[in-house]
Amino acid sequence: MTFTSAFHRYPMLVLAFFVSYLLIVSPGIFQTIVLAYIIFAMNTSFQLDIEDGRLLYKVILFRSVLFTRQARPEEIEEIQFKLHGFAQRLIKVRKNKGLSLRLLHFKPTNIDRHILTFAKRHQVPVDTGKNYGNISLD
């Protein structure tokens, strides 16, 4: 199963127009750097593939894969289900070595069911926060 996520493009587009205006009015290196960052951020997306025996996380820039990280069940210390902010669901895959995978704003939204199924199938420890809610496998 493949899940995708991207930056919210509308706020970035508004910010890009504002910084472009500032660049025209008073050109400077700071405005140029911020505009370049916005352009790269608008064209960055994230992809998570849940395959049999591994989680494959990709960062995609301008439709080409920038880098890939994978997590096999024996490398995973714990999978945490938390609330991020007010009501956004966050899944954190903590690895024994290396950086954790933070999964936020992925579509389709039933990613937590698939991650929980993966964890149960491969006997990976799961920690659901008290405010996260129930995750059913129905």
Q: Assign residue 89 the CATH number of its domain.
A: 2.30.29.30
> What is the per-residue pLDDT across 54-109, written as a single tens digit (0 to 9) for each?
999 999 888 899 889 989 999 999 999 888 777 778 889 999 988 888 888 888 88
User: Which has the closest alpha carbon to 93: 131, 55, 134?
Assistant: 55
Does a structural domain hold residue 134? no
Does a structural domain hold residue 133? no
**The model's pTM:** 0.75
Does a structural domain hold residue 43? yes
Buried b (16+ CB within 10 A) or exposed e, 48-66: bebeeeebebbebeeeeee
Give the number of other CB atoms < 10 A from CB of residue 76.
21
- Split into its structural domains, the chain has a count of 1
CB contact at 8 A, 103 and 91: yes
